[in-house]
């Protein structure tokens, strides 16, 4: 059976002009704003009108684009050397959308699509949203391949090992015992969690696995905390909120590891490393470090290859 690999992600604007496209597509997603279509459109317009220029300016500070597309291309380049199948990025909210990959797969006679979520933890707002998007686009083009979804890997030993490697890479030359390790996951509204989304449980399992691995390796931090970032609006979200933790310091040396991202994007490079760094500097933190995501690191490449190969047996 001919197979192809699709890497699922939200995507990131390729230029400032795509910021509005990104926001409109994201807030049109029923998994992001679970309400009736008319109310969703109304709420989306309010949010976008308030935030559009601010978000555009954030991307200008990043050089006018998200780092995510280029980093994903580099990852695909490395995967292509180890996997004998077509590999595509399938972004949810900005190009390259899934239909580009699906048209190419249909033309090539691909009979099975292997979907690898770039989200370690499962959520209706991320993995499910991408799957439904692919299913809908396949239906619209009369394409009916077998679809195989790679399971969440938040507690996979290889993934935890690679995560700790990124943490220790950021700590090179420093004493871990002097630092708080803040494991930062993207937040979600509590209404989504209460509706049955497993994301919080997966995040907490991820944190537990990292703590266990660190303990087994004899790596000691001053403290290890789970925090959530990127809260929007006034409704109840998962807590503790990272910015609140930073504004009320109990310790002034911190390392932040982005727990819910595998590819660096605006929420790691801007929110964590620029916006929140400014808060830490104003409060006179002694040190503030942000670890990199997996990106195209070899351990992450090998994890993907291992998971995909398990589907080809």
Q: What is the mean pLDDT of each run of 10 residues along the chain (313 residues)?
A: 94 95 92 88 89 93 95 98 97 97 97 98 97 97 97 97 98 97 97 97 98 98 98 91 96 97 96 97 98 98 97 74
Return the axis-axis angle of helices 98-108 and 129-140, rounded to nearest 10°.
50
Residue 217, number of CB atoms within 10 A of its CB: 11
Q: Write down the pLDDT at residue 78.
A: 98
- Beta bridge partners, 184, equal 227, 258
Q: Where are the alpha helices (DSSP H) in the chain?
A: 18-27, 37-61, 68-80, 98-108, 129-140, 157-170, 190-194, 199-216, 242-247, 266-269, 276-282, 298-310
Residue pair 178/228 in contact (Cβ under 8 Å)? The answer is no
Among residues 59, 276, 99, which one has the least CA distance to residue 89? 99
DSSP 8-state secondary structure symbol assigned to residue 19: H
Q: Write down the pLDDT at residue 232.
A: 83
Question: pTM value?
Answer: 0.95
Q: Write down the pLDDT at residue 312.
A: 75
Residue pair 6/88 in contact (Cβ under 8 Å)? The answer is yes
Q: Write down the pLDDT at residue 35.
A: 87
């Amino acid at each position: 059976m001919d197979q192809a690999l699709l890497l699922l992600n939200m995507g990131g604007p390729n230029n400032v002009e795509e910021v509005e496209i990104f926001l409109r597509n994201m807030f049109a997603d029923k998994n992001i704003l679970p309400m009736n279509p008319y109310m969703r459109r109304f709420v989306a317009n309010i949010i976008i009108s308030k935030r559009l220029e601010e978000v555009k300016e954030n991307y200008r500070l990043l050089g006018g684009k998200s780092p995510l597309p280029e980093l994903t291309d580099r990852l695909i380049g490395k995967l292509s050397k180890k996997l004998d199948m077509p590999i595509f990025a399938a972004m949810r909210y900005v190009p390259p959308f899934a239909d580009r990959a699906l048209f190419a797969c249909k033309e090539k006679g691909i009979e099975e699509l292997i979907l690898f979520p770039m989200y370690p933890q499962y959520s209706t707002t991320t993995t499910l949203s991408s799957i439904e998007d692919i299913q809908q686009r396949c239906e619209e083009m009369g394409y009916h391949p077998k679809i195989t979804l790679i399971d969440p890997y938040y507690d996979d030993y290889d993934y935890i090992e690679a995560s700790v490697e990124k943490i220790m890479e950021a700590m090179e030359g420093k004493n871990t015992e002097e630092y708080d390790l803040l494991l930062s996951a993207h937040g979600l509204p509590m209404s989504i969690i209460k509706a049955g989304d497993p994301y919080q449980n997966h995040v907490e399992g991820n944190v537990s696995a990292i703590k266990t691995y660190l303990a087994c390796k004899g790596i000691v931090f001053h403290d290890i905390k789970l925090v959530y970032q990127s809260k929007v609006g006034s409704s109840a979200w998962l807590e503790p909120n990272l910015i609140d933790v930073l504004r009320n310091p109990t310790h002034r040396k911190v390392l932040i590891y982005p727990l819910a991202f595998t590819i660096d994007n605006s929420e790691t490079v801007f929110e964590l490393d620029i916006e929140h760094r400014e808060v830490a500097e104003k409060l006179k933190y002694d040190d503030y470090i942000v670890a990199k995501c997996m990106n195209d690191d070899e351990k992450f490449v090998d994890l993907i290859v291992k998971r995909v190969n398990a589907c080809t047996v």
